[in-house]
Amino acid sequence: MARSLNETGKHMQTTIKSIVRFAGTGLHQGRPARLSIHPAPANHGIWFRRTDIEGNAMIAARHDAVELSPLCTLLVNEAGVSVSTVEHVMAALSGCGVLNAILEIDGPEVPILDGSAAEFVRAILKTGVRRLDAPVHAIEILRRVHVSDGSASATLTPADELEIDFSIDFVDAAIGQQHKVLRLSNGTFVRELCDSRTFCSQSDVDAMRAAGKALGGSLSNAVVVDGARVLNPEGLRHIDEAVRHKMLDALGDLALAGAPILGRYTGIRAGHAVTNKLLRALFADPLAYRIRTLSATECRLLPGAGLERDVFSHI
């Protein structure tokens, strides 16, 4: 039997075992980008470090560092130093159970790679996760928190583990209406979500290009649809790949809470801004949550707990 990446034990905070590196292109600016994920000590959390910046180059991966951006999640520190399109790598870290890491990056945008989180996950699983001598603190949802923006909404309600319930509705028939519900324990993210790619319609591509965005986008890092047609020659990885990717994004944005969430997230047409608005509403209501120290048994319900390399050889 394969050895679990997160073994049961008294102390369950985690980091990666060794440095993993990635090189690619930024989706929106189209510039070459290099990212490396480094181990970090207990209680460090997730931080980005801009290696091309002198001075204040550290950027916290936290919801209160998010600055509004229509197409991705953008983090900015107090000196105005930023890093964007962090949602996929944040989802990979959360989905693989990595709670502490330093992400060094040589520019303003995380490489898009294939448009999913699969390459990040593959590298994390290959190097493995190391347990640290410190307990895990989780955010337990105690009562309903809800936000909306037009037809989009997001809600957090109490649950014993992280669940994501997502619904989308797009004009293009290749996407249309999709709905999916998943519990994120027991490696569900790696099995079900991590290889689902970002997507858009051809009309969106034309509009973004006209606005100087998506300069690094191509059919190798995004699913593009036009009405009922999927323009990618290889087609879809899942018939409901679009809603799976929205769930991937939601996990990455929820990871900016700074600790694992025990609760049910329900998103209806929600994007990055709405999920961030939800986290801000949660932390503005001290009666809506509590910080709880988890036992080793409770840690088994977290995303990434109990992952085994051979089970996920398809990634």
Which of the residues are catalytic? 272
Please tell me the chain's helix, strand, coil percentages from 3-state DSSP, rounded to the nearest 5.
25, 30, 45
Backbone angles phi, psi at 65, to 5 degrees: -100, 0
Distances (CA, A) of 160 to 12, 30, 132, 139, 251: 18, 41, 24, 11, 16
In order of 66, 280, 310, the CA distances from 78 in angstroms are 11, 18, 43
| Residues 116/196, Cβ–Cβ less than 8 Å | yes
Residue type, 57: A
Instruction: Report the alpha-carbon distance of residue 95 to residue 253 in Å, rounded.
Output: 12
Helix, strand or coil, per DSSP, at residue 23: strand
CB atoms within 10 A of CB 64: 12
| Contact assessment for residue 46 and residue 253, using Cβ atoms and an 8 Å cutoff | no
Compute the distance between CA of residue 82 and CA of residue 64 in angstroms, rounded to an integer. 13
CA dihedral 283, 286, 290, 291 (to 10 degrees): 60
The pair of structure tokens assigned to 40 is 């970090």
